[in-house]
Amino acid sequence: MPEKCILILLDGLGDRSYRELDFKTPLQAAKTPVLDRLAQASANGIYHAACMGQALPSENAHFIMFGYDIKEFPGRGALEALGAGIEFQQKDVAVLSHFVSITESEKKIVLEEGKPVISDGEIAEFVDVVQEFETGGVRIRFHPTGGIRGIVTLHGGVSPFITDSDPFVNNRPLINIQPWDGYRDDPATAITAQALKKYLIHVYDELRVHPVNQARIKNGKIPVNCLVTQRAGQLKHVTPFDDRYGLRGLSMASGPMYWGLGTYIGLDVKKVTDTGNPGKDLAERIHMAYACLNEYDFIHVHTKTPDEVAHTKNPLAKKSVIESLDKGIGKGIQPLLEDPDLLVIVTADHSTPSSGPLIHSGESVPILFHGSGVRRDRVRQFDEISAASGALGALRGKELIYMILNHLDRSKLHGIMDTPVDQPYWPGKYKSFKLE
C-alpha cells in the first residue's frame, strides 16, 4: 500500500451546465485525455467539504479538507494577515479590506464600483492618509497587500464577531457593521464594531476631498473614496497537522491566504507564483512535489486558476484553462503513477459557477484516488457527472482525511488507545513501556 500522498487540488473546478457548452459543465466539455486516463485507473467519486448545496469559500473548504473542525477556523482575515507576514498578536483582529467607489444616497452610502481601476501610485497616496487611526482605545492600521486590496488590523480589547461592510454587488448600500447576534451583549464586540465603523467614516472623509480624487473627477473618472471590509478573524490555538494526523505536511500554493492557512495548521509552506500559463505552472509544481517526498508524507499541490477564470463568468474561458491544466498534469504525473508507495488524489475544494451572481456554488466536485490497492471502478471520464457513479461514492467533510489515512495504512482501529489523546492514525506517537 502507498506510504505517502500528493493531493492535486484544482481550485473551483466544479461548475454548472451551460447552453453554449451543449448543457455540459466546462469540465465535461473540456478535452482532458490525461485526467480521463487517470480516472480509468482510479477509484472515483464526488466530494463536498460540508453540506450539499452549501457554498464554501476556499479557506473554509481547505480547512475542513485538511481535517479540522470549522469551530477551530480563525477567519480569513487572520489567515491572510498571517500569510502576508503582517505582525499581529493572538488578541488582535484582522479584517480583509479594499478600496472602492461609493456615493451618498438619502444618507446611505451606496457601493458604486467594487473593483475600481486605479494606479498603484494613487493607492499609495491614499494609504498615507488612512494608514493609522485610533478611537475608544482601539488602534487601527491599514496594511496594503497589492492593488486595491489590504488588511485592516485592530488592536486593544477587540473581537472578530462583527458583520461585514462589503455588500459585494454594485448599487447596493454598504452594510452597517454590527456585532453577531450571539455577541450583542459583549462589550469587546460592540467596541470593535463601533471603532471599525468610525474608521471607515474617517477614510471616506479623508478620501472624498483628497487631491487625487479631485483630479480623477476632473478627468471624468470615478472617485475611489472609501474602504469596505469583510471576514474578520482572530488567531486561535490548533493542534499541528503532524500531531493530529501523524503526517509531515507541505503546502505548495500561490497567495497569502494559502500560505497563512498552511502556517496556521503547521504545514510547511512553499510559496509559488503564477506566470499566466496554468498548465506549465502546475507541471512544475507536480515535479517539485515529487522531489520533496523524501521529506514529507503529505503534499498539497494547488492551482487557483479554474476558480479565477470562473469569476470572469465565461464558461468557454474556464474550459480552456481546464484543458491547459490537463496538459500540465500530463507533463508531470507519470513518475507519480509509477511509484508504488504513492497515493495520488485529484479533486477541487468547491464549485465556482461560470455564470450568474453567485461567487461560489454548493454543488459537489469530482475526486479520484490512484495508487496501489485502490479499488478501480468503471468510470471512464473525470467530470462531475461521471465521477458520481464511482467506487468512492459521495465523500463529505473530514471523510477525505480519514480516507487518506486509510489508503496509507495509517487508519487506527476504532477503540484502540495507544496514546492519551484519541488520535485517528496508527501507530500513534506513544511512550515506550519501561521496566523501572
Q: Residue 351's domain is classified under what CATH number?
A: 3.40.720.10
* Residue in 420, 90, 86, 74 with CA at minimum distance from that of residue 265: 74
Residue 310 lies in a domain: yes
Same domain? 378 vs 288: yes
What's the total number of domains in the chain? 2
Residue 227 inside a domain? The answer is yes
Are 127 and 203 members of one domain?
Answer: yes
Positive/negative CA dihedral, 63, 341, 405, 425: negative
Same structural domain, 277 and 157: no
Instruction: Give the strand pairing for 342-347 and 138-146.
Output: unpaired
| Domain termination residue (choose one: 186, 201, 233) | 233
Closest CA to 265 of 56, 48, 78: 78
List the pLDDT tens digit at each of the 436 positions of the chain: 889 999 999 999 999 999 999 999 999 999 999 999 999 999 999 999 999 999 999 999 999 999 999 999 999 999 999 999 998 899 999 999 999 999 997 778 999 999 999 999 999 999 999 999 999 999 999 999 999 999 999 999 999 999 999 999 999 999 999 999 999 999 999 999 999 999 999 999 999 999 999 999 999 999 999 999 999 999 999 999 999 999 999 999 999 999 999 999 999 999 999 999 999 999 999 999 999 999 999 999 999 999 999 999 999 999 999 999 999 999 999 999 999 999 999 999 999 999 999 999 999 999 999 999 999 999 999 999 999 999 999 999 999 999 999 999 999 999 999 999 999 999 998 889 999 8
Do 217 and 270 lie in one domain? The reply is: no
Q: Does any domain span residue 436?
A: no
SS3 content of the chain, % helix, strand, coil (to 5): 35, 25, 45
The answer to whether residues 192 and 210 belong to one domain is yes
Q: Which residues contact 56 (CB under 8 A, 6 or more apart)?
A: 49, 50, 64, 349, 350, 360, 362
Is cis: bond before 427, omega within 30 of 0? Answer: yes
Distance (Å, rounded) from C-alpha 115 to C-alpha 263? 29
Residues 229 and 242 in one domain: no
Alpha-carbon gap, residue 42 to 392, rounded angstroms = 10
Residue at a domain's end among 233, 251, 268: 233
Give yes or no: residues 62 and 102 share one domain.
no
What is the Cα–Cα distance from 418 to 430, expressed in whole angstroms?
Answer: 6
CA separation, residue 342 to residues 107, 115, 274, 293, 328 (Å)? 61, 43, 26, 9, 19
Q: State pTM to two decimals.
A: 0.94
In-domain check, residue 419: no
Examine the fold and report which residue of 185, 214, 233 is the final residue of a domain before the chain moves on. 233
**Is residue 55 domain-shared with residue 181, that is, in the same domain?**
no
Q: Are 362 and 284 part of one and the same domain?
A: yes
Return the half-sphere exposure (C-beta side, CA atoms, 13 A cut-off) of residue 214. 4
Asked whether residue 352 falls in the same domain as residue 249, the answer is: yes
CA distance 310 to 353: 6
Tell me whether residue 57 is in a domain.
yes
The DSSP secondary-structure symbol of 352 reads: -
- Is the same domain home to 103 and 200? yes
How far apart, in whole angstroms, are the C-alpha atoms of residue 119 and residue 116?
Answer: 10
Among 102, 74, 232, which Cα is nearest to 167's? 102
* Residue type for position 388: A
Q: Identify the bridge partners of residue 303 per DSSP, sorted by sequence position.
A: 10
- List the grid coordinates of 167: 455588500
Q: Residue 435 falls within a domain, yes or no?
A: no
Would you say residue 426 lies in a domain?
no
Q: Which residues pair with 301 in a beta bridge?
A: 8, 252
Residue 412 lies in a domain: no
**Residue 365 contacts residue 61 (beta carbons within 8 Å):** no
Mention every residue, 6+ apart, whose C-beta is less than 8 A from residue 141.
131, 132, 133, 152, 153, 155
In Å, how far are 50, 67, 147, 262, 401 from 398, measured between CA atoms? 9, 5, 36, 17, 6
Q: Does one domain contain both 316 and 394?
A: yes
Containing structural domain, residue 390: 4-72+238-407
Distance CA 181, CA 92 (A): 21
| Residue 167 near residue 111, CB atoms below 8 Å | yes
